[in-house]
Structure 1
Amino acid sequence: MTRSAQTAVLAAALSALALGVAQAQAPAPAKPAAPAQAAPAATAAGQTATKSDADPVVATVNGTPIRASEVVIAEEDIGPGLPQVQGDQRKDYVLSFLTDMTLLAQAAAAQKLDQTPDFQQRIAYARTKALMEALMNSEAKKAVTEDAKRKTYEEFVASNKPETEVHARHILVDDEAKAKEIAAKAKAGEDFAKLAKENSKDSAEDGGDLGYFTKDQMVPEFAEAAFKLDKGQVSDPVKSQFGWHVIKVEDKRTKPVPTYDQVSDQIDQYLVRKAQTDLVTKLRADAKVEKTAAASAPAAPAGAAAPATPAAPAAPKN
């Protein structure tokens, strides 16, 4: 069965809002922040222990610590490229990636690559992107409240008029004569599902069962015929672009409204996308954005671009 029209309303809204966010203009890169000064050592042993307990060091690479929080961040970053492993094996995989990344970063720093203009530009871009993501995540957390979810659900239920659904089976064949023969057998009382399994080009394994559907979910000729039938009736052959159909209506009902729990996750997504889109729209309206002549200048040669990041992290070390 296709998903309900009510659920589709939220899904369509979600798609539209997501597109708006994706097209949002990124802010101009900020200047790189000055390097943070090392935090003073804790004066109390209890403070040091608390920090260590909350975010323990899970490995060191040439003396450089890797903390548990960094493993979490890395897993979020490279998650889509990770193998289908879970638990400790997944953590080991991410830690191996972080270890290799730290080794490579140390080697790059030894060559003073962190002092190049290109590196500074990438740091500025990464900082801008991280700030954008932090703000968007903050808006998402504020948007999803129980009150907002309940209000959205009530509005969406109230805005959807009741629809009639039909539960039908059909048998699809290539020619009218065959369809007439099957329709006669079905009207005479032969088992419709059995006839579908023996003759139909579509849904034969399910006995021609199409489940519940609304009128707009089927081609017009099929829908008109199906919705004119009463429960238990069999149609005369119906021609559509797919061939000849014989239809049996199993049931008719008013389409049930999905429960709050059934659409809860979609409401979450809707509220998040709406809040983020509203934020971007407001910032655009309040901002002064001016393109310079350089915006239409030819792009830099491909050779000037940095090499792409490897798609998958290195395999775990033994």
Structure 2
Amino acid sequence: MTDMEKTSSENLPYMPVLLGLMALAGLIVAVSTVFDTPQPDYEGTAVAFVNEAPIPETGYLRALSMLEQDKRGPITDADRTRILDLLIEEELLIQRADEINLIGIDSSVRKSLTNAMIQFIISENGDTEITEDILNSHFLNNLDYFTPSKQIWVKRIYVRGARDDAEQRLQEIRTALQQGENFDTVASRLGDEIFPEVPDSLLPPAKLQAYLGPALTQTVISLSEGAITNAIRVGSGWHFLYLVQQRKGVVPEFEDIRDQVENDYLRKVEEKALRDYLDWLRERADIDQTASQLQPADF
């Protein structure tokens, strides 16, 4: 082994990582195969051709730059040769993947390629204009989204439906509550245990639903503060609900959540860019959905 080869070998432990990065870039190049669009004629400088497919000088120089940032010591001729070999082998693998229709037979490749394509579409909008007026307008047009949900404090009395004396117990609870007996006292004296217990505090509806379920949560949301429901049969038992307190969400000041507003604005811009691109692809594609009308087979 020559001194140059030794130097190259000692300084290339990072090559698997570099090859992985190049392979990801190759996925984006291979996107044209997915949509069956011809590659445009290459007009730049190529450092090599693989089955007439050019390896652009820009990609080669970019790989050298990556290597230079990671390597200890100057770039050698052996490094340059190895980088070019990696790019050639990458192109050979991409062409072989196309040849055997790897995109069509390997779901992991399809997923990686789809993600790469989405990132490519989003990156095309990297120069999105953002001004204070735009963000203020986005904030005002989406106040419901940026305003915290209201907080609800609710208590419950539960009676198991399987009790032999369930009807009698329900009537005793109704009478006690109508006579003004303390709700907690009635719950302790006549109610059954149920888990999980509703926390004795204000909760947003989304968290409250984890304790009450969707049906009872919707009922509570419609109540006025201080209201107590009659017995409601849900699941395996009966529920009396008491809305102790509710606190409406307060609209925050724009300056306090500016970063959140900007992130949400950029997210929606990216979503729209992706949606527009997909709509464009649909318009130019020949899509036959006849198969979707077939009835599922009986097994």
TM-score (norm 2): 0.46
